[in-house]
Amino acid sequence: MSATADHADHHDGPIVWPKDPQYGLATPGKIAMWLFLCSDAFSFAGLLLAYGILRGGSKAWPPDASLHEPVLGINFTAGLTFLLICSSVTMVLAHAAAVEGNRKKTAQFLALTILGGILFLCGQYQEYWGIWSHGLLHEGLHFGASHYANTFYVTTSFHGMHVFSGVLYLTVILVRTLMGKYDNGKHDHIEIVGLFWHFVDLVWILVFTFIYLL
Amino acid sequence: MAQEKKGKDKAQKKSDDAEEKTTSAAEEHEGDHASAKEAHDDHDDHAHAAKAHGGDHGDHEHKPNRKEYWVIFVALLVLTVLEVGIAQPSLGISKTLMRLGLVSMALAKAALVAMFYMHLKHETRVLRLTVFIPLATPALYAVVLISEAAWRLIR
């Protein structure tokens, strides 16, 4: 661990980019992921804005009491929030292990992160369709019936899609970790998948507050 | 650049004996450092691969700090519990206060995740601004459009 920024043209070592005056030593991949996340954040911002405007312009929420739409369960989704926060922790621990060059621990923490994502998706399935109890659909929250139902389903399913793609992305990175692709200090892919995963967690924090709690 | 080239031969020698041995020795030759770096380009050695990835992220040393990660985890947990707590209608606090509290706590949590888990804290100022400035626009947009919708309702 020195404070030098040497180039390493080693075929097996990390690719070290020259230090950029603006972006420091952030790899092009990392900068690209940040730009993608910004654009993705705009997609979520659009959905949340639509929700905010529709709700702000309604006298009551849910807007039509005669539809008898169910109230969103807070306690269960608070559990899902907790789950995603935990999976963020396992993600940073996977990255920390990768920085230390510990392939086994990296793989273990990545696997735990994937498990967190899968459990979250199961939780969302339970919420929509019900596994051990009635889901929202059974309780009368139907897509297309009201702004309340539409904004809820569009936003949460768009987020669920991100969790799903995050799980696939993490699985690819896990397989590559097990193949030893990230040994010798080439761990920036693990940090980049982490950026995506933390973003999914971050968005859920906002969705949970704006759609469920407010 | 020209200066670096001049110092190249000298640096090469230096790097062969002094710099290779210890980190601190290398750091003492701060002046020749840039040129030593260049001289090393042709070298193919493991010490450098290890060195290059480990330490330097520019102006900020960036090593994962597990303790910090757990502190942030606890903070996120406490904020979540607080949020769920003040969202209970039985508590009887005013709706405006509740909403203000919830929104600020959610934004605080999002900022914690971005700064610590996504390492924005360790990135350069320019990268931080590249992320934050564009995101300020939907926030502004939200304030304007939602208050406009609400205003039309009460008008």
Which tens digits make up the pLDDT trace of A133-169?
889 999 999 999 999 999 999 999 999 999 999 999 9
Q: Work out the burial of residue B23: count CB atoms within 10 Å of its CB; fewer than 13 is exposed, 13-18 middle, 19 or more buried.
A: middle
Which two three-digit tokens encode residue A76?
A: 């269960």
Residue A192: what pLDDT?
97
Residue A185: what pLDDT?
82
- Residues in chain B with CB shorter than 8 Å from the CB of A58 are 153
In DSSP notation, chain A reads --S-------TTS---PPPBTTTBT--HHHHHHHHHHHHHHHHHHHHHHHHHHHHHT-SSSSS-GGG-PPPPPHHHHHHHHHHHHHHHHHHHHHHHHHHTT-HHHHHHHHHHHHHHHHHHHHHHHHHHT-SSS--TTTTT--TTT-HHHHHHHHHHHHHHHHHHHHHHHHHHHHHHHHTTTT-TT--HHHHHHHHHHHHHHHHHHHHIIIIII-
Residue A13: what pLDDT?
64
| Average of per-residue pLDDT values in chain A | 91
Our CA-based measurement puts residue A196 at a distance from the nearest CA of chain B, in whole angstroms, of 9
Residue B155: what pLDDT?
80
* Residues of chain B numbered 31-70 and touching chain A (CB < 8 Å): 33, 37, 40-42, 44-46, 48-61, 63-64, 66, 69-70
How many Å is the maximal CA-CA distance in chain B? 80
- Spatial separation of the C-alpha atoms in residues A83 and A80, rounded to whole Å: 5
User: What percentage of chain A reaches a pLDDT higher than 90?
Assistant: 79
- Spatial separation of the C-alpha atoms in residues B118 and B129, rounded to whole Å: 14
Mark yes or no for CB contact B44/A10 under 8 Å: yes
- Average pLDDT on A91-106 reads 95
Round to the nearest angstrom and report the end-to-end CA distance of chain A.
Answer: 47
Q: Does A194 touch chain B (CB under 8 A)?
A: yes
Residue B93: what pLDDT?
83
Contact (Cβ atoms closer than 8 angstroms) between residue A97 and residue A109: yes
- Spatial separation of the C-alpha atoms in residues A201 and A83, rounded to whole Å: 9
In this predicted structure, the answer to whether residue A79 has a pLDDT above a threshold of 80 is yes
- pTM value is 0.80
Cis amide prior to A18 (ω within 30 degrees): no
Of the two residues B5 and A208, the one the predictor is more confident about is A208
Residue B6: what pLDDT?
44
The angle subtended at Cα A195 by Cα A208 and Cα B141, nearest 5°, is: 50
Contact (Cβ atoms closer than 8 angstroms) between residue A4 and residue B33: yes
Mark yes or no for CB contact B123/A26 under 8 Å: yes
- Residues in chain B with CB shorter than 8 Å from the CB of A206 are 106-107, 110
* Cross-chain CB nearest to A92 (options B60, B69, B152): B69
The angle subtended at Cα B68 by Cα B67 and Cα B73, nearest 5°, is: 100
Q: In this structure, which amino acid lies at residue A46?
A: G
Residue A145: what pLDDT?
93
Which two three-digit tokens encode residue A65?
A: 């009491």
Which two three-digit tokens encode residue A144?
A: 């297309």
Identify the band that residue A117 occupies on the pLDDT scale cut at 50, 70 and 90: very high
* Cross-chain CB nearest to A3 (options B55, B84, B119): B55
Digit-coded pLDDT (tens) for B69-102: 999 999 999 999 999 999 988 877 888 899 999 9
Residue B36: what pLDDT?
41
State the DSSP H helix or E strand holding residue B51, giving kind and residue range, or none if neither. helix B46-54
- Residues in chain B with CB shorter than 8 Å from the CB of A82 are 77, 80
Contact (Cβ atoms closer than 8 angstroms) between residue A198 and residue B118: yes
Q: What is the pLDDT along chain B (155 residues), one digit of tens a residue?
A: 444 444 444 444 444 444 444 444 444 444 444 444 444 443 434 434 333 443 334 444 478 899 999 999 999 999 999 999 999 888 778 888 999 999 999 999 999 999 999 999 999 999 999 999 999 999 999 999 999 998 998 88
Mark yes or no for CB contact B23/A99 under 8 Å: no
User: What percentage of chain B reaches a pLDDT higher than 90?
Assistant: 50
Residue A98: what pLDDT?
94
In this predicted structure, the answer to whether residue A199 has a pLDDT above a threshold of 80 is yes
The angle subtended at Cα A85 by Cα A81 and Cα A87, nearest 5°, is: 115
Residue A128 makes CB contacts below 8 A (sequence gap 6+) with A135, A136, A137
Digit-coded pLDDT (tens) for B56-65: 344 444 788 9
